[in-house]
Structure 1
Amino acid sequence: MFSILLFTILAVSSAWLWLRLRKVGTRELELPPGPPTLPLLGNILELPTAKAYLKFAEWAKTYGDIFSLKVGPATIVVLSSPKAVRECLDLHGTTTSSRPFFYVNELISNNCEIAFMEYGSRWRNWRRAVHDILSPDACAKHQPIQRAEASKLMYDLLENPKQFYTHIYRYSASVIFSVVYGIHCPEFSNTFIQEFFDVTRQFDSVLKPGFAPPVELFPALRNIPERWAPWKRTCKAIRTQQRKLFFGLLDIFTEGLNNGKRNGCFMEHVVDHQDAYDFDREFLGYFGGGMLEAGTDTTSVFLQSFLGCMLACPDVQARAQAEIDHIVGPDRTPELDDIENLPYLQAIIKEVHRYCPVTPMAIPHASLADERVGHYLIPKGATIFMNLWALGRHEDYFDNPNEFNPDRYMRSEFGTKPGVDIEALRPDFAFGAGRRLCPGRHFASASIHLNTMNLLWAFSFMPTKDPITGKPKVLDLNDSDDGLFLKLKPFECEIVPRSAKRAEMIRAQFAAAKSTFDLFDRPASITTATDTRA
């Protein structure tokens, strides 16, 4: 009798387990369509390990602007058109505003990395603080240091044009260090910049597929001892270095604040209202560090892409320079207000965003509850990708989408074909969607506007020549590195001042900026770090 009962229990349990496992990896009926799945695995074997935005764009042509993938029991939803983004992320922002759980982020930052922070009270407090310090009126107060840093970029390009990559990186880092922590970094060799780029490059490396096993799908993998998990040791080392930088900066800033040194930077407001935002010291350090991360690579990558586009399209460059010469002229440098009278330059900026999106797959969202989008179910816990590259190359919206052509934005506000329904379109897709729309877009746009005007007013950008053939090198705008950011492969560029008079004006403007830089004079390195806890 006992053996029969035991056999029955085992048989029922086995049948139940088989039925459960049989469904793992299969696409539920109400999910958006997608590639065929395999039992247990789903689409794991088909997932691209590099430049996922290209494969996802290909799948969108077959399965639609909203399609799904299965990764074991987990669901991924990919949005590939402005309409899909609007319906899923903008109109349902309340339930699609979280981030997927990322175990590596937990190991490194205790889930304090702002870009990957899940929805909750801590994220809401962060968002409230950021909105206070990054409103259009608040950003306007920081234009003096933006102008000073932009003058330094022009000066550096004038004096040492071959190092333009270094100058762009220095600019993007120094301007955000200045407005966040009140620290100007006059040289790329500045210890802050070196440590910052070292930390961010290491953190970027852990975001690549294959760095760690799929701990999110199989939580038991968390228990692998560190001695058998090199990825855990890497995370521990990054955590130590990141905390040394973030909390070292916070200590230097706090010491200056206690000594009465103020220059109106963001962190002054945040520290003054620390209790109202419910920020402890731990979160203060990551708040400041996260602001630095958010504002550095995005600006530098855009400016690199902009230069590449000007190099590859000399006719576009010449037309933009003619427009600037007509509005600004040779007797003064551009001001931010000039952008309103430069429609062709505005079109170029929009086209660079469309053609070379800084983050082609953006940072994924996660759904907090089941949600209906059209006929489809977006289940609770799904990871949602916005394929910005596919949005910009959508053939239903854009004529000849694989061609770099700013004129499309001279013909229509959003650069679209005649007759396209523009209800779902908006000018700031490059900065995200829904409640995760980048709050720093006003500040970033000011930097982009000022520097694109300055660069085209001041310099001509020309391709270098092949040493063997003597012909100008051709830059392929589709040849980019892989990673979170879409970066053109490193290229060479001849940068020549457009006149001797403009060169002298650049030097004079940089000299006049000294009084602004003096307000942001703080220590150039971290000598001690009071919090490097692992």
Structure 2
Amino acid sequence: MYFRTGLQHVIVISDAKVYRELIGMRAGIYSDRPPSEVGDLISGGRRSVLMPYGTRWRMVRRIFTNVLTAKKCDGYVPFQELESLATIHNMLHEPKGYAHELHRYALSVARTVAFGKRVPTSLSQFASEIREVMENFSKAMTPGKYLFEAIPILRKLPRFAQPWLKELEKFKNLELSFALKCYRDAVRQAELHPNRPCMAREVKAEMEKAQEEDEVQASSTCMEILGAGSETTASALHFTILALATHPEVVKKAHHELDHVIGQDRFPTWADEPNLPYIRAIIKENQRWRSISPMSFPHYTSKDDVYNGYYIPKNCVVRVNHWMMHSNDERYSNPEKFDPERFINHTQSAAASANAVDASGRDHFSYGGGKRVCPGIHLAERSLFMMTSRMLQTFKFGRPLDPKSGTPRELTVEDIGGQLEATCEDAREGPQAEEKILQPLPELRSKIRCSGTRPQCSTCLRRGATCEYPNPRMSPRRGDPSPNLDDHPQADCFTPPADFSEGAASLDGQQEAAQGPSPSSELFTSAGSLLPLAFTSLDGEGAPNYPAPIGLEQNEGDLVFNFGGLSPDWIFSLFDPCSHLDTFSLPANYQMLDEPVFPITAQDSSPNAQEPPVKYSARQGPHLDNWLLSTAGTNYTQSLIIPQLGGDSDRSLRHGSHFQMPKVKEAQRSQLLNSAQTILERPLWEAVSLANFPSKAKLDHCIDLFFVNFRPPISFIHRPTLNPATISEVLLLSIVAIGARFSSMSGATIFANSIAELNRRILLLMNEQDPSNRYSEDYLTAQLLQATHGRASGHRILFGHSRDLRSTLVRHAREAGLFQEPKPRQTAPEDGSATTESRWLVWVAAERQRRLGWAIYDLDATVGVLHNERPAFSIGDMALSLPDEDACWEAPTAHSWMALRPWQPSHENRIEFRKAARECFYHSLADNVQLSDDQHLHVITVTLCRFLWSMKELQGSPLMDAVPEDWPLVNHKRTLLNKLDQFLTCPEALKANKDDGILRIIVERLLIIHLCHLYGAGDLMDWLMPLLRAAGQHKEARARMSKWGREDGVRLRQVAYHSAQILALSRSFPFNSPCESFYAFYAGAALWCATVLLGESEPGIDTESCNDDDSHQVTVLQLDAFHPLDGEEYGEVHRWLCEGGRARVGLFGVPRLGSKESRVQILQGTLRILQNMRIWELSKGFSEFIRKLITAESKSH
């Protein structure tokens, strides 16, 4: 739903699927908050709930997630168990104040976690102070209360003209002083007692780790746990009581489950949660039925977006209507009914459900979603289970009785605003004439209130504890005030086990047994057998007097299972438990129209064309915005701990096997364990010696050689702004390794391979230690250089790594949003308000990312013709515009860059890739797109090459056996080849007026085009490689070669021509590019096959010596000559290619193609070309194959 309030656009989401797509999958756009002048004023911009999405928010959010992980919340469970016992006790003895007691429970749990202290009563000083702070915040944030919230410019008025400042600053000072007091006291106590839980200590450590020494921010972060966590938990528990009081059938089923699973001699614990599906279902249904957040806190779009054809503008408020989603009768049948049965089979935890891939898999939406999902979800889940299960274990729930008539009064779910009271009776039967909502079960009441001698219960027997019961004289009477736990902070509750350390039994590590029992002991000795053995007391304002029990110690290195891993989204965002819901950016050319939501019209295109996937879903794969390309994630270490599988006598082990198979023996188990241990203890690599690491001067020399000699078709490293001191080490090592290859120093080749291998190991370790590295710009650039280096290095390990790295690199680049049009990382207006230097740097950053995306695309697209493998990238995902011209890219200064384009802003006249590709075939677009830049022509050539390889693959698939014979696949291939031929040119005519940089790109394009003709010649390249590996002796391939030559004479002659052209280009225009050896090797091999077949199947070719009298009748053709395409010489060659006829065909070093001697001559010429390629050692490997083929060919003649 869309509406406007003044100038503000507002969208309300009421559909779960839309909610998952926008808030979850595109969280990078929808995680911002609307500006809040009031919120910033009273909190100083430190509340994460109001904080805008950015670096500071991510830092605070990371702290939240690190201190509230599922594992760490397991460590807080014992304190929640004790607080729940205190709450049950107080509700029994003060039933009319149960609502305040629920608030005290939630607040005490939150305070224990945050500051290491309890809240003993709802009337304590801390409770009063936090209540005042929260009320002030609620008052201040009331919509419409302050005019300057709607008109922010009023904040610029003089102070006397802002009457609201006095009140808001009072709120701010009160909150700040209260938060700092609690935080400082907690940190001081944590230093004295390091074994006690205290989130303040962990927040302080996390902020120091992040190099953020901000005490105010740390205190505000801790206070948010109290404010948000306590109120929401208490409200949810109030709704639980309302639901149970109005649905007796639910209470009956819950009692039955508890009696069956737990029994009546203990309370449920968190460990019982998996065995209590109905209790879990009650909690989930309660959060759906009466959500604590019917309407979410407003989100705010940080950039323009498009969803399902509708345009959503930047700075649009987006609200999520949880109430409508929970009331959707298509999702929840009979949604008004409180029916836990709908979740009885929902076994996922709250976090796992919140991160479900499919919106239909979620239980409810009360915890929010996306990057703003509730950070305390694990703590809240445990708190709700503890109180809900224990209230059901202790009480019956029913309608209140009329005090006069004794009949049940009417109670409906609409009574949420009424004043409900809870009273207790001593037995299940015999209702009394008073209001009763909570009624204790008799068996639990006997456990809590019994004053006689009782036998030891089964729970205490299992735990080895003494079952103790209170002295009736010490039990508080009904109506007495609740005991103040502050008065007796050291009291023992029960007898500790023999191995319990006395030092841990009291607050200061000292026993004060002389004090004897205290009123506070009545609280817990009444259910002493239900308490964890490691706990002896609960104090009030002092720190909790109980260390974490055995098995719950926190190890920060333990493997923490983040439930985002259940989603494919987690595949791209482990670096940060909350930043994995980021997303990409849309192209920057969407313009804000009068109406913010409108259908997008289809582009003019061919009737057979369909829009690319990126058109409809610009958020492919993981969810990282491309600002992350310049962000280095935080490092962390994962240690793997194999969790226990079941118990020692699990019931599953009692069942028989489904199949009669040999059983695992103990010796095999031991061998498996020993093998795993041995492999893990063995180092992955041998030690690396860095004694000969080059000096600074040599490193500078290698970097210089890199920029002089390594000139890819699309340059992606900006030399004018490159600073070795600011780039990452892996990128610097990649540059040094390639630069060293061009050095004349001794050992340069071995050194280059060694540095590349060292860098390969570092890259692997970086990825393992911190997966967020894979999305940084430097890391991706280093991987691209590694892949390029390894492809041509001739080093077996580096070559294999290069092939493996390509698909990984494409995936990581797509996940990082690198194939989406980058937006400037900072605003740089095109008018005179920005300096030339700042505009240039912004342009360089965006252009560098754009070029990096195209360079990765080039690496992947050419794998088809260089390796005869399927590319990993889908062209439909490409949303980049074509790169700017090289002259601008290589401009050494900002002003030289500006001088090249004084009339044009940096973002104008960009050529869209899709339009440029269509222009090749639909000339109606020619007026809008003019391809003259050689970089652009290279991109289009590589793209057509990619299409051609896909058609070759399709032509060789089994599908071709089932399609009609007139299926125009061959015609499509011919169309692509004809279009590629339009990009051919004569290099000889260009070398006089083109510099080496441009000529290098042109030659690369010509090599690709000629090689495409080899891949377009049927299955030539499929059987050629096996034939070469067998030195020409592979029988099946040889037979296929002969058959292939007889099938189409035109195709055979064209292969000979294009192979000769490749060899000529490799011989006449070598530029030491990494892929040159591929072209020469394939061309030499294909030409060898062609000359064999031409001698056998082309009678018109003059393969023997001719008489001088007949020479005038024979056309002499030189296949490797560079003729102008519109000249007469090329016309004769073209005529022979198409029609054949009598001709004397030759090339450099081969006078007569097709003669027996020409077979060896071609191979020898190819060998000489490869031997002259001395920079990249892959040519040596190709040379060895050619030598073997020469030897085999010489023996056969």
TM-score (norm 2): 0.36
Residues 343 and 363 in structure 2, CA contact (< 8 A), matched pair in contact too: no
Determine the structure 2 residue equivalent to 1:39: none
CA-CA distance at 1:491 after TM superposition: 2.1
DSSP 3-state at the match of 2:311:
strand
Measured against aligned partners, the alpha-carbon deviations of 1:392-447 in whole angstroms (never above 9, x if no partner) come to: 00122122212222222237789xxxxxx965442352111110111210111011
Partner residue in 1 for 2:171: 238
- SS state of the match for residue 115, structure 1? coil
Superposition RMSD in Å: 2.5
Residue 474 of structure 1: how far off its partner (Å): 3.2
Confirm or deny: 8 A CA contact 1:497 1:503 kept in the other structure. Answer: no
The CA distance in 1 between the partners of 2:142 and 2:540, in whole Å, is 40
CA contact (8 A) 2:8 2:316 kept: yes
C-alpha deviation, 1:520, in angstroms: 7.4
CA contact 1:74–1:382 (8 Å) conserved in 2:
yes
Aligned 1:22-421 pairs, distance under 5 A? 67-213=1-147, 215-223=148-156, 231-260=164-193, 262-277=195-210, 278-410=212-344
Q: Using a 3 Å threshold, how does the CA distance of structure 1 residues 120 and 80 change in structure 2: closer, same or farther?
A: same
**In structure 2, distance between residues paired with 1:356 and 1:136:** 25
Alignment CA distance shift 1:422-1:136 (3 Å): closer
Tell me if structure 1 keeps the 8 A contact 2:25–2:370.
Answer: yes
Cross-structure match for 1:440: 376
SS at match of 2:344: helix
- For 1:23, the equivalent position in structure 2 comes to none
Cα 1:489/1:95, change in 2 over 3 Å? farther
Counterpart amino acid of residue 453 in structure 1: S
On the 8 A contact 1:295/1:444 being kept in 2, the answer is: yes
Post-superposition offset of 1:454: 0.3
For 1:184 and 1:100, how far apart are their aligned partners in 2? Answer: 35
Question: Which of 429, 438, 450 does residue 365 from structure 2 map onto?
Answer: 429
CA 1:412 to 1:184, structure 2 compared with 1: closer, same or farther past 3 Å?
A: closer
Task: Give secondary structure in 2 for the equivalent of 1:430.
Answer: coil
Task: Give the CA deviation at 1:516.
Answer: 4.7
Q: For structure 1, which segment, 489-498 or 365-374, has the greater mean C-alpha deviation from structure 2 after superposition?
A: 489-498
**Cα gap change, 1:229 to 1:359, in 2 (>3 Å):** farther
Q: Is the 8 A contact 2:448 2:526 kept in 1?
A: no
Aligned to 2:448: 503
Aligned equivalents of 1:510 and 1:202: distance in 2?
39
Cα distance in 2 for residues equivalent to 1:268 and 1:443: 18
Structure with the bigger RCO (C-alpha within 8 Å, sep 6+) is: 1
CA distance 1:410–1:137, shift in 2 (3 Å): closer
Greater Cα offset, 173-182 or 377-386:
377-386
* Larger mean Cα displacement after TM superposition, 354-363 or 268-277: 268-277
Say whether the 8 Å CA contact 2:98–2:421 is kept in structure 1.
Answer: no
Aligned CA distance change for structure 1 residues 273 and 519 (closer, same or farther; 3 Å): farther
- 1:237-267 per-residue CA deviation (whole Å, 9 max, x = no partner) reads 2112211210110221233245456512111
Distance in 2 (CA, whole Å) between partners of 1:136 and 1:123 is 21
Specify the alignment match of 1:9 in structure 2: none
Residue number in structure 2 paired with 1:464: 400
Measure, in 2, the Cα distance between the counterparts of 1:279 and 1:287: 13
Task: Return closer, same or farther for 1:510/1:116 CA change in 2, 3 Å cut-off.
Answer: farther
Q: Are residues 403 and 130 of structure 1, via their aligned partners in 2, closer, same or farther at CA, if it must alter by over 3 Å?
A: same
- The one-letter amino acid paired with 1:343 is P
Equivalent residue letter for 1:199: V
Deviation at 1:316, TM superposition (A): 1.2
Secondary structure in 2 matching 1:116: coil
Report the 3-state secondary structure (helix = DSSP H, G, I; strand = E; otherwise coil) of the residue aligned with 2:49: helix
By how many angstroms is 1:469 displaced? 6.3
> Residues 413 and 253 (structure 1 numbering): CA distance in 2 closer, same or farther, change over 3 Å?
closer
Q: Give the letter aligned to residue 273 of structure 1.
A: E
Give the Cα–Cα distance (whole angstroms) in 2 for the partners of residues 472 and 226 of structure 1: 60
Give the distance between the partners of 2:56 and 2:79, measured in 1 at CA. 30
Question: CA distance change for structure 1 residues 382 and 502 in 2, over 3 Å: closer, same or farther?
Answer: farther
CA distance in 2, matches of 1:184, 1:328: 28
Residue 306 of structure 2 aligns to a residue whose secondary structure is strand
> What letter corresponds to residue 324 of structure 1 in structure 2?
L
Which residue matches 1:14?
Answer: none
Whose radius of gyration is greater, 1 or 2? 2
- 8 Å CA contact 2:67–2:199 kept in 1: the answer is yes
Task: For 2:441 and 2:199, locate their aligned partners in 1 and report how far apart those are by CA, in whole Å.
Answer: 37
User: Alpha-carbon deviation of 1:174?
Assistant: 0.7
The SS at the match of 2:287 is helix
- Please state whether the residue corresponding to 1:344 is helix, strand or coil: helix
Q: Distance in 1 between matches of 2:75 and 2:292?
A: 26
Looking at structure 1, the residues matched to 420 and 160 of structure 2 have their Cα atoms a distance apart, in angstroms, of 41
CA contact (8 A) 1:458 1:502 kept: no
CA contact (8 A) 2:119 2:540 kept: no
Task: For residue 199 of structure 1, report the CA deviation from its aligned partner.
Answer: 1.1
Cα distance change, pair 510–91 in 1 and its aligned pair in 2 (3 A):
same
Q: Residues of 2 paired with 1:162 and 1:423: CA distance?
A: 41
> 1 CA distance for matches of 2:108 and 2:259?
29
- Alignment partners' CA distance in 2, 1:476 and 1:202: 33
Q: Is contact 1:78-1:386 (8 Å) kept?
A: yes
Q: 1:475 touches 1:491 (CA, 8 Å); kept in 2? A: no
TM-score (normalised: structure 1): 0.77
Instruction: Give the conservation status (yes or no) of the 8 Å contact 2:278–2:344.
Output: yes
Q: Distance in 1 between matches of 2:158 and 2:82?
A: 51
Whether the 8 Å CA contact 2:233–2:384 is kept in 1: the answer is: yes
Distance 1:345 1:110, change over 3 A: same
Q: Equivalents in 1 of 2:358, 2:53: separation in Å?
A: 30
User: For 2:158 and 2:327, how far apart are their aligned partners in 1?
Assistant: 45
The unaligned stretches of length 5 or more in structure 2 are 349-356, 423-435, 450-468, 470-522, 545-1197
Q: Partners in 1 of 2:91 and 2:50 — Cα distance?
A: 35
SS in 2 for 1:199: helix
| Residues 114 and 450 (structure 1), Cα distance of their counterparts in 2 relative to 1, 3 Å cut | same
The 1:439–1:411 alpha-carbon spacing in structure 2 relative to 1, beyond 3 Å, is closer
Q: Tell me how far 1:498 sits from its aligned partner.
A: 0.3
CA 1:489 to 1:89, structure 2 compared with 1: closer, same or farther past 3 Å? farther
C-alpha distance in 2 between matches for 1:411 and 1:427: 11
* Counterpart residue number, 2:538: 517
Report the CA distance shift for 1:189/1:424 in structure 2 as closer, same or farther (over 3 A): same
Distance apart, 1:477 and its partner CA: 2.4
